[in-house]
Amino acid sequence: MTKSFPTTRRRFLSAAARAAGAGAAVSLLPAPFVLAQPAKVKVGILLPYTGTYASLGHNITDAMIMAIEEAGGTLGGRPVEYVKVDSEADPAKAANNTNKLIFGEKVDFLTGPVHSGVAMAMVKIAREEGTITIVSNAGANSVTRQMCAPNVFRTSFTNWQNCFPMGPEMMKRGHKKTVSITWNYAAGQEMISAFKEGYVKAGGQVVKEILLPFPNIEFQAHLTEIAGLKPDAVFTFFSGGGAVKFMKDYHASGLRKSIPLFAPGFLTDGTLEAAGEAGEGIVTTLHYAESLDTPLNKRFTAAFKQKTKRAADVFAVQGYDTGQLLIHAMKAVKGDTKAKKEIITAMAAAKLDSPRGTMTFSKSHNPVQDIYLREVRKRDNVVIGVAHKALADPGTGCGMA
């Protein structure tokens, strides 16, 4: 049932005609009466399937489909059609891709993306058009702050959530002076400023904030600079290939011996095999860890492994919960996608049993969840505690909060 772009024009037109016909049929009869062949629910997925973030896109997609298949493969009794568009994690193409899904494919639900810049563009258009949207990864604060909207939900995290608790933790360990280093883009900046907020409140001092142009991974000059500054600790955010490169370069520069490294969990998720020795001992905070010892998490990781032959990770969990949220809401309205108000009410009140633990939604439609403290030991993110219990994003600037 999976269709992916690019669509040819002819196919596109005929699909549009079919959709128009189906729409007419549905509007003539109330949904429950359409027994013979209920119209498909169209779920639009805007995720990267190529490039640095490709593996994230695949894990989110597969876990989301897995959740819906576990529930019988239908949403509110209607079969599902997944329309995938490769976002290429490119903000420049985001508006176009979103337009394709909303206007071209006329999807009932919109999910994705990984990249915050893509999310901003996607949410901006979704707000104007009222399409019910579930952000399944991008952590840009503003999605559930200034830009929050009744029809926009998030099953992942805000950049603030994962970094704020690290500040007090580092002070607890006696690191009073820190240098931060990250990419100069919204996600990086938000993570650093959230960390700083918690750290300064606890009495710490960020002596220098180093920003690299995204996605530059030539760290040498900056590592030299850190060595000169001699801080107590370094707080960093990188992900994917950049994370591996940073851990390796940090190791090679000899800094790891004297200056410990702290980060949001994205640094060490899915990167530890590649980083090898260079990852050991790094302490991170995240809303999930594969090693979480709960029955649901064990069942989830096993099922995901069996289905995809890949290890589950935080992204798969977010995809899984996106699927769960869709199931929950569509069950509440018995598959009637026209009942937008009721769908939104059901989503906002949802209490999901997630592999990460129990999760509810704040007034701004962002998860309320535990943030775990993890340490890399033998190439594994071992949970060493809970950095903050049931943490909600403040939702500053959101009219609904």
Partner 1 sequence: MRPLSRPLLVALIAALALLAVFPQFVERYYVQLATKMMVMAIFALSLDLLVGYTRLVSLGHAAFFGLAGYALAILQRDLGFVSLWTTLPLTVGFTALVALLLGALAIRTSGIYFIMVTLAIAQMLYYFANDTKWLGGSDGMFLDAKPTAEIFGLQLFDLKNRVTFYYFALGALVTSFLLGRMVLASLFGRVIDAIRCNEPRTRALGFTTWRYKLAMFAIAGALAGLAGYVGAAQDGIVNPAFLSWHQSGQALVIVILGGMGTLYGPVVGAFALIVLEDVAAGLTEHWLLFIGLFVIAVVLFLPRGIASLPLAGCVGRLRKRGGGAAPLPERRAAEAGDD
Partner 2 sequence: MDVSSFLVQSLNSVQYGFLLFLVASGLTLIFGILGVINLAHGSFFMIGAYLAHWLQLKTGNLFVAIALGLPLSFLLGLAVERLAIRFLYARDHLYQVLLTYGLILIFNELQRILWGNDVHGVPIPAVLDASVPLNETQSYPVYRFFISLACIGVAAAMYFVIHRTKLGMLIRAGAANREMVELLGFRVNRLYALVFALGAALTAFAGMLSAPVNSVYPGMGEHILIISFVVVVIGGLGSIQGAFVGAMLIGFVDTFGKVFVPEAASLSVYAFMAAVLLWRPQGLFGARPA
Question: What residues contact residue 110 under an 8 Å CB cut-off, 6+ apart?
Answer: 44, 46, 98, 101, 102, 122, 126, 131, 132, 133, 134
- Indicate which of partner 2, partner 1, none lies near residue 306 (CB less than 5 to 8 Å, by partner kind): none
Counted residue by residue, the chain has a size of 401
Give the span between the Cα atoms of 36 and 46, in whole angstroms: 31
- Indicate which of partner 1, partner 2, none lies near residue 121 (CB less than 5 to 8 Å, by partner kind): partner 1
**Number of residues near partner 2 (by CB under 8 A):** 33
Going through 76-151 in order, the beta strands assigned E by DSSP cover: 78-86, 109-112, 132-135
4 binds partner 2 per the rule CB under 8 A = no
Q: Of the two residues 142 and 381, which places its CB atom closer to partner 1 in the complex?
A: 142
- Indicate which of partner 1, partner 2, none lies near residue 274 (CB less than 5 to 8 Å, by partner kind): partner 2
Cβ atoms of residues 217 and 246 within 8 Å: yes
Cβ atoms of residues 1 and 61 within 8 Å: no
Q: Looking at residue 281, what DSSP letter applies?
A: T
Instruction: Give phi and psi for 258, each to the nearest 5.
Output: -105, -25
Question: What residues contact residue 164 under an 8 Å CB cut-off, 6+ apart?
Answer: 194, 195, 197, 198, 388, 391
Site string for partner 2, 251-280 (x = CB under 8 A): -xxxx--xx--------------x------
Give me the helix-helix angle, 54-70 and 295-308, nearest 10°.
110
Q: Of the two residues 205 and 216, which places its CB atom closer to partner 1 in the complex?
A: 216
Give which of 351, 346, 347, 395 is closest to 369, Cα–Cα.
351
232 binds partner 2 per the rule CB under 8 A = no
Least Å distance between CB 69 and partner 1? 28
- What would the DSSP string read from start to end of 199-239? HHHTT-EEEEEEEE-TT----HHHHHHHHHH--SEEEEE--
- Indicate which of partner 1, partner 2, none lies near residue 120 (CB less than 5 to 8 Å, by partner kind): partner 1
154 binds partner 2 per the rule CB under 8 A = no
CA end-to-end distance (rounded Å), the chain: 38
* Site residues for partner 1 per CB under 8 A: 5-9, 11-12, 16, 90-92, 94-95, 99-100, 103-104, 116-117, 120-121, 124-125, 128, 140, 147, 184-186, 189, 211, 213-214
Judged by CB under 8 A, the residue of 128, 218, 273, 353 near partner 2 is 218
353 binds partner 2 per the rule CB under 8 A = no
Least Å distance between CB 307 and partner 1? 26
Q: Of the two residues 60 and 89, which places its CB atom closer to partner 2 in the complex?
A: 89
| Site residues, partner 2 (CB under 8 A) | 50-52, 54, 88, 210-213, 215, 217-218, 220-225, 227-228, 230, 240-241, 244-245, 249, 252-255, 258-259, 274
